[in-house]
Amino acid sequence: MRPRVYITRTIPPEALARIKEVCEVKVWDEEDVPVPYEVLEQEITEVDGLYSLLTDRIDAALLAKAQKLKVVSNMAVGFNNIDLAAATQRGIMVTNTPGVLTETTADLTFALLLATARRLVESVDFLRQGKWKTWSPMLLTGQDVYGATLGIIGMGRIGEGVAKRAKGFDMRVLYYNRRRKPEVEKELGVTYVDMDTLLKESDFVCIMTPYTPETHNLIGARELSLMKKTAVLINTARGGIVNEAALYQALQKGEIWAAGLDVFEQEPVALDHPLLSLPNVVALPHIGSASEKTRKTMANLAAENLLTALEGKTPPNLVNR
Q: How far is the CB of 298 from ligand DGY (least distance, A)?
A: 7
Query: Judged by CB, which is closer to ligand DGY: 58, or 101?
Result: 101
Q: How far is the CB of 189 from ligand DGY (least distance, A)?
A: 27
Query: Judged by CB, which is closer to ligand DGY: 76, or 87?
Result: 76
Our answer to whether residue 222 is catalytic in this structure is no
**Which run of H or E residues covers position 305?**
helix 292-310
Binding site for ligand DGY (CB under 6 A): 54, 76-78, 101, 288-289
Q: How far is the CB of 136 from ligand DGY (least distance, A)?
A: 39
Instruction: Provide the strand spans (E) within the chain.
Output: 4-7, 24-27, 49-52, 71-74, 93-95, 149-153, 172-176, 191-192, 204-207, 232-235, 258-261, 281-283
Our answer to whether residue 273 is catalytic in this structure is no
Query: Judged by CB, which is closer to ligand DGY: 23, or 218?
Result: 218
Q: How far is the CB of 267 from ligand DGY (least distance, A)?
A: 10
The three-class DSSP label of residue 173 is strand
Q: Which of 9, 119, 165, 238 is catalytic?
A: 238
Cβ atoms of residues 162 and 110 within 8 Å: yes
Our answer to whether residue 216 is catalytic in this structure is no
Contacts of 305 (CB under 8 A, 6+ apart): 71, 73, 95, 96, 97, 315, 316, 317, 318
CA distance 19 to 41: 22
Query: Judged by CB, which is closer to ligand DGY: 108, or 174?
Result: 108
Q: Which of 9, 286, 295, 304 is catalytic?
A: 286
Q: How far is the CB of 58 from ligand DGY (least distance, A)?
A: 14
CA distances from 31 to 8, 11, 34, 35, 191 (A): 11, 10, 8, 10, 45
Query: Judged by CB, which is closer to ligand DGY: 48, or 56?
Result: 56
Using alpha carbons, select from 301, 304, 259, 299 the residue that is nearest to residue 278: 259
Q: What angle (nearest 5°) sits at the alpha carbon of residue 291, between those of residues 20 and 94?
A: 50
Active-site positions read 238, 267, 286
